[in-house]
Amino acid sequence: MHRQIRLLLRLIQWLPVLRFGRPFTSLDNSSRAQFLAGLQNSRVDRLRVGFWGLRTLVMLGYYGRPAAAAKIGYNPHRSGWEATR
């Protein structure tokens, strides 16, 4: 899986060269957003699935931080859903 994620990140870096003539890290914000939206809605199943998997990992990392959890009001209880009953 590490190899697949590494390959996907390399593709994200270099695929924009075909369309914009520059790698991802050299694009302006609007071009980056346009490129990422294209990956998100790609007809190529593996690209689309890989993108959504990477997006999920990023969100887990972001929302897993205590500061982000507090900001959105997430306050888990050790008892899980039993605590709400």
Q: How far is CA 67 from CA 3, 63, 79, 84, in A?
A: 31, 8, 22, 23
Helix (H, G, I), strand (E, B) or coil at 20: helix
pLDDT in tens for each of the 85 residues of the chain?
A: 899 999 999 999 999 999 999 999 999 999 999 999 999 999 999 999 999 999 999 999 998 888 988 888 887 777 777 766 6
Alpha-carbon span 41 to 6, nearest angstrom: 21
